[in-house]
Every structure is written in structure tokens, then in C-alpha cells.
Structure 1
Amino acid sequence: MHSTPHTPAGHRGSHRTPRPTRRRLAGAAAAITAVVGLSTLTSPGAQAADNPYERGPAPTQSSIEALRGPYSVSETSVSSLGVTGFGGGTIYYPTSTSDGTFGAVAIAPGFTAYQSSMAWLGPRLASQGFVVFTIDTNSTVDQPASRGEQLLAALDYLTERSTVRTRIDSSRLGVMGHSMGGGGTLEAAKDRPSLQAAIPLTPWNTDKTWPEVSTPTLIVGADGDTIAPVASHAEPFYSSLPSSTDRAYLELNSATHFSPNSSNTTIAKYSISWLKRFIDNDTRYEQFLCPLPSSSLTIEEYRGNCPHTS
């Protein structure tokens, strides 16, 4: 039989908890408060923490169509005399370093052309949060396979030797190119599967099938292209990409082979969305890629799959 504990005089009827128990309860309360505090910090505002590569404010239709994005841009020239494997070029990059490192994209020109033919894309993409390298090729008549090698050499220079290398996340790289540079973009993606995105613009290549490409690839064709007609270039390139690859085919309406050589809002908005989604893993841009865009005044046709979830 248990006896009733003696209650000291002056404490009869008191429900005060003994001091050691109070200490244990206080510790438990503090732990609960800490857990609640952490959950408050990480949810629901955890999206940025969940994706450390996300850069810039939430996108809108007007923000991806704008001539400039949220970042101020600086540029630096790279002499052909100071590089190997390609012909030099111009690097465009976000001026601020407060957001950390950025993904990077190398862009090659077409047959007989120079980097100046792609210069409009430099600040337009960089102002959205990328380091962009528009390059010259070793020779203006280099073929697509050579241009693909030069795109990769340019990325290696950008991440290993350039003055902006500390601003770049070397694991988050992409390639773009026009005409034979577009064919070179496919070559680069085939040769380096670690690339995060590829965007061939009115591409030309004698190789018509690309089953080796696993890099997310957006191919842009033009309905009026007589130099690299979509029926014998862009369309078979797209169709040959594995269905397991994130892929899309955008055919510009009332456009020519040279449409990528001057400021083009349709090319820019879908390039930005593609690069953001696959280089930055930024699902905020999926809204512009899925459901698939409809035909319009500027889009003759759009085919593809909605981005695969990682």
C-alpha cells in the first residue's frame, strides 16, 4: 500500500511542479519552439532553398519578352590570341555578385559569320541571370563538327581561365548556335552529355539523326528557310531526338534562315524559358513551355514534350 507523500507546511493544495521537472519541461518547450521556428523559416517560403539555382524574380509574359531582364550587364572582350580551340569572343555577365554564381551559355555563329551576328542575344540573356559567351570560330567556313568542338573549348575557357570564372557554376552549362553553329550545337550536346541545355537556331548539318543527344534541346526552325529548309534539317533533327530527352521544336512564322541574326522576341522568350528551366532547374518557367505554345502570328508550329520532372 502506497502512503501519501508528506506535503510541507505552507504548500498544502499547491500544484507547483518540482524544480527538476520544471527544468525538463522548459527544455522540451525550448526544443519545440526551435522546431516550430525552423519550420516557419523553411515553409512555405522554402522554394528558393529547395532550388539554390533559382535567380531573379518570378517571371511573367512581359518579363521574358522584355529587351532586358532584372540584372545589369557588363561585358568583356576575349582576344583570339589569348585562347586555344576557338576564335575569341565577347562575354556578357550580370554585374552583381550578390546572388552567387550563374549558369553559362556559349553561342556560335553560322557559316561565314562572326560573333557580331549573334551579339543581340548576349545582353538579352545575361540580363536574365546567365553568363553568355558569343564566340568567333577559328575560320568562318568551319563545319558543324568543328563548331561543336569550339563551343566546348569556349565553355572550358569560360569556366577555367576567364576573368569571370568565379561567377560561373561550371556544372550548369549550355550551348546555342545559328545555322552551322546550330549544327555545332547538336554536335556539342552529343559529345558532352553533361550539358544542361542546347538551342540550335535554324540549324544546318549533313548528319540528320541525333539519337545520342540526352541534353534538353529546343530546336528553332523558320518556315521560310531556303538555306536549311526545316523539312531536311530542323524537323528531322528534332524527330531523331530520343523521346526520353526533354525536347521541343519551334517553327517561326514568316521567318527566314537569318531571323536569329537580329533581335527576335519569340526566339528570346522561349530561349530564356528553356535555359531557365534546364540550366537553373527553375520550374517557375514551365508555364511558358507547358501546355505547349499554340500557333500564332510568330509561331508556325510548336511540338515537344512537357519538361520531365527531376
Structure 2
Amino acid sequence: MALALAAPQATAAETEYRRGPAPTNSSIEALRGPFAVSETSVSSLLVTGFGGGTIYYPTSTAEGTFGAVAISPGYTGTQSSISWLGPRLASQGFVVFTIDTNTTLDQPDSRADQLLAALDYLTQRSSVRTRIDNTRLGVMGHSMGGGGTLRAAEQRPSLQAAIPLTGWHTDKTWGSVRVPTLVIGADGDTIAPVSSHSEPFYTTLPSTLDKAYLELNGATHFTPNTSNTTIAKYSISWLKRFIDNDTRYEQFLCPAPRGAAIQEYRDTCPHST
């Protein structure tokens, strides 16, 4: 057991992608991380394939390029419903793109296409493209945006991380996903109950995949729409661990975390290094 809990030694590649100081519980629970953040709006008139959005990014380039994450809102939602994640994640050392969808009624598979279009815009055409390492990308989304996150991961296996937040999708089987995935559900979700959404999403992901299931305690379908320390803490840890290959964050994921805010946590610990 001691070996499973020991922090693995970092390889040269993992050290190369580390951004920011060594993490602590306090640093990843904080409203803001070590990086100052700027933001820029992207008009829907200037893009194709999605509805525009807001890019949040670390102001300094002293540590080199950053990984990037695109985030989709849910059904009837706009980027304002997920905007809190922008500066919170960016201040930890990521470029974050909270997007609007083409219409607020777009279904999950359309949202998948839009997340991927947003990443393509971010890395190829955006004003911050030179700040991004285009080999280190991830996707997140709420509700139908969470369903879109799973589909985007299935469609683009080169992604490094996926995090569906109280995700909704009619497809319950995700055995072809090859992207490390953190599924976040809510115990009080009546729109996408975990028994018919987040739990089967997690269990049908390959057993060989780096994956985790976090069920929030005392939470609802709309908990991801407002600032939430538990969501932020484990999303940051997952993105750092798999987009940045930063094993300093493994301690927050393995062994499985426990606490009053967590109803249930499952994981394929220890993660490969």
C-alpha cells in the first residue's frame, strides 16, 4: 500500500509542463491561483462552428506555453452559466475558453462539435494562440454540454482530459473513449439523475482508462452553474494531472478523496505515470 501512496518521481517531460508552484489543499481551493489573468471576448461574428465566447488566460508568459480547455454551457444556458470557471481555472495556469453555443437549444452531439471547433479556433486563429501548447487540450461542459464533452472526447482521442459536469446524454455507453475523464454528478440531480447518467457514463468508460467519478453531496443539476470549491478543486487537479502531466496533483486524486462535500468517489488509482 505504501508504494501506491508514494508520489511518483517526475520525468523530464512532466517537469517541462509544470506551471506554478507546488500545490497545496489551500492553493487549489482558493478562488484564484498563482497566475494573474486577462480576458478577451470573441464575437460570434468572427468564428464559425460555435457561438463565440470569452477567453481567460494567464497574463505572464514567463513559464512558457499553457494547456487549454474549452467549456460548454448546458441546454438553454449561455456562457454566463459557466463563467466562474474561466478565471478560476486560468489562474491555475490554463487558457480557458467559455463558449456560447450556436443556439441555446443545441443537443449534446452538436455541443461536442462546437467544443472542438472552439479548440481549433483557440489554437489556430485566436489572439492568444501563441500562448497555447496545442498538444495539451481538454474539454468540459455542463448538462448537455457535459454530454457533448463525452462525445468530443470520443471523437478526438488526442485530447488530454475531459470533465462532464452533471452531464446529460441519451447515449449511456462510452467504451470507445480514450481520454482521461472525470465524471462529476450530483446526488440531488433530478434532470440528469446519476443512476441514469453520470454513473453509467463512468462505468462504461474503459476499465483501463484513467477515470474518476465524483458525486457531489447535497447538490443539484445546477450546482456547476455557481462557484463551487469541490468542483474547482478536483477539476484543477484532473486538468493539471492529465493536461500538464503534473504528478504533483496526483495526491489530491489518489487515494480517493473523502469529505462532507463528496457523496461518493471512485477512481482507477493509481494513475499511470
TM category (shorter chain) comes to over 0.9
1:191 is aligned, of 141, 145, 155, to 155
Name the CA shift for 1:307/1:46 in 2 (closer, same or farther; >3 Å): closer
| TM-score, reference length from structure 1 | 0.84
In structure 2, the gaps of 5 or more residues are 1-8
2:179 is aligned, of 194, 212, 215, to 215
**Which of the pair has more CA radius of gyration?**
1
Q: Secondary structure at the match of 2:17?
A: coil
1:303 is aligned, of 248, 263, 266, to 266
Query: In the alignment, does 2:92 pair up with 1:128?
Result: yes
1:85 is aligned, of 27, 31, 49, to 49
The whole-number CA distance in structure 2 between the counterparts of 1:50 and 1:246 is: 17
Q: Which residue in the other structure is 2:125 paired with? A: 161
1:139 is aligned, of 103, 111, 114, to 103
Q: Which has the higher contact order (CA 8 A, sep 6+)?
A: 2
Task: Quote the offset at 1:304 in angstroms.
Answer: 1.1
In structure 1, the gaps of 5 or more residues are 1-44
Task: Quote the offset at 1:82 in angstroms.
Answer: 0.2
1:172 is aligned, of 119, 133, 136, to 136
Residue identity opposite 1:216 in structure 2 = P
Segments of 4+ moved more than 4 angstroms? 45-50
Q: Secondary structure at the match of 1:51?
A: helix
Q: Secondary structure at the match of 1:52?
A: helix
Query: In the alignment, does 2:198 pair up with 1:247?
Result: no
The whole-number CA distance in structure 2 between the counterparts of 1:290 and 1:187 is: 26
Q: Does structure 2 retain, via aligned residues, the 8 Å contact 1:251–1:300?
A: yes
The whole-number CA distance in structure 2 between the counterparts of 1:290 and 1:230 is: 22
Matches within 5 A, 1:1-310: 51-294=15-258, 296-310=259-273
Q: Does structure 1 retain, via aligned residues, the 8 Å contact 2:20–2:93?
A: yes
Name the CA shift for 1:50/1:274 in 2 (closer, same or farther; >3 Å): closer
Q: Does structure 1 retain, via aligned residues, the 8 Å contact 2:14–2:245?
A: no
Q: Does structure 2 retain, via aligned residues, the 8 Å contact 1:48–1:54?
A: no
Q: Which residue in the other structure is 2:3 paired with? A: none
The whole-number CA distance in structure 2 between the counterparts of 1:285 and 1:293 is: 12
The whole-number CA distance in structure 1 between the counterparts of 2:192 and 2:112 is: 18
Name the CA shift for 1:87/1:71 in 2 (closer, same or farther; >3 Å): same
Q: Which residue in the other structure is 1:10 paired with? A: none
Aligned-residue Cα RMSD (Å) equals: 1.3
| TM-score, reference length from structure 2 | 0.95
Q: Does structure 1 retain, via aligned residues, the 8 Å contact 2:50–2:100?
A: yes
Name the CA shift for 1:133/1:302 in 2 (closer, same or farther; >3 Å): same
The whole-number CA distance in structure 1 between the counterparts of 2:51 and 2:145 is: 13
Q: Does structure 2 retain, via aligned residues, the 8 Å contact 1:106–1:151?
A: yes
Q: Does structure 2 retain, via aligned residues, the 8 Å contact 1:103–1:280?
A: yes
The whole-number CA distance in structure 1 between the counterparts of 2:61 and 2:110 is: 34
Name the CA shift for 1:46/1:210 in 2 (closer, same or farther; >3 Å): closer
The whole-number CA distance in structure 2 between the counterparts of 1:52 and 1:278 is: 13
Q: Secondary structure at the match of 2:95?
A: strand
Name the CA shift for 1:187/1:46 in 2 (closer, same or farther; >3 Å): closer
The whole-number CA distance in structure 1 between the counterparts of 2:62 and 2:184 is: 34
The whole-number CA distance in structure 2 between the counterparts of 1:221 and 1:105 is: 20
